[in-house]
């Protein structure tokens, strides 16, 4: 395990504690992020000054023990929640200063997210889930693109199936299709291959690595799978609420 990340400069060049100096190629930066969950008088500190940079067009893997705060960090990077302190910079914009509607628009157009479960709308078919994501991003030819994405992920025969009719692995692949539907700049995957056998996981990784190579997709994958981590360009470990270089 390497040393804790160094310092990250602000977008105006001022140095801030919590990550290596930016070289202008990072799409997303978490800077000195804290997140505390409170229940009654009890407090759980999930993140305690965590910092992470995601270089454009690269795959970054994040590993760590269960409960170490990995899912929390993904949620904050997606703008689905706000840190108690610190900043999340997306393409030079501090998204912690945006309101809920502004963050939702940013996600719809530029970010794809795959969580471990509950990624799909239960009363829509696989194809309808993907079509909706395309339409929310302002995309055209939604039906054609939805069919193409699902077929690319091995689901050509499951287009009209509802989530409850899909296996865990099929539902996860459909969720990846939804996350890629808006042709995002950033893909955040929380154990996106967790429900997949090794062969299917490899095919999903191939789709993602191709998107990185061909159109500069930036990816963060939270994983316990050594094969997934090995496919990344860099690996970081979340430990005691801090991101460490591996």
**The pTM is what?**
0.84
Backbone angles phi, psi at 186, to 5 degrees: -130, 130
The tokens for 207 are 């789709």
Tell me: the pLDDT tens digits for 221-245? 999 888 889 989 999 999 989 998 7
- Could you report the per-residue pLDDT of 89-145, keeping only the tens digit for each? 999 999 999 999 999 999 989 999 998 777 899 999 999 999 999 998 888 888 999
d(CA 19, CA 25): 14
Alpha helices in 15-162 (DSSP H): 70-77, 100-110, 126-136, 142-152
CA 66 to centroid of chain Cα atoms: 17
List, for residues 154-178, the tens digit of each pLDDT value: 999 999 999 999 998 899 999 999 9
């Amino acid at each position: 395990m390497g040393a804790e990340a160094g310092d990250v400069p602000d977008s105006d060049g001022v140095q801030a504690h919590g990550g290596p100096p930016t070289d202008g190629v990072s799409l997303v930066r978490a800077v000195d992020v804290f997140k505390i969950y409170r229940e009654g008088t009890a407090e759980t500190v999930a993140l305690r000054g965590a910092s992470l940079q995601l270089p454009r067009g690269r795959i970054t893997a994040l590993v760590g023990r269960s409960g170490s705060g990995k899912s929390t960090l993904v949620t904050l990077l997606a703008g689905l929640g706000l840190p108690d302190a610190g900043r999340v910079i997306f393409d030079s914009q501090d998204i912690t200063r945006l309101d809920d509607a502004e963050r939702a628009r940013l996600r719809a157009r530029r970010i794809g997210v795959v969580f471990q479960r509950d990624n799909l709308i239960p009363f829509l078919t696989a194809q309808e889930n993907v079509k909706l994501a395309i339409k929310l991003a302002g995309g055209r030819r939604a039906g054609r693109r939805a069919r193409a994405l699902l077929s690319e992920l091995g689901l050509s025969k499951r287009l009209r199936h509802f989530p409850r009719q899909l296996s865990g692995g099929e539902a996860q692949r459909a969720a990846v299709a939804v996350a890629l539907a808006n042709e995002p700049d950033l893909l955040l995957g929380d154990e996106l291959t967790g429900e997949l056998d090794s062969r299917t996981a490899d095919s999903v990784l191939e789709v993602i690595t191709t998107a990185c190579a061909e159109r500069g997709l930036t990816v963060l994958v939270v994983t316990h799978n050594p094969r997934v981590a090995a496919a990344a360009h860099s690996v970081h470990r979340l430990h005691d609420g801090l991101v460490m270089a591996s």
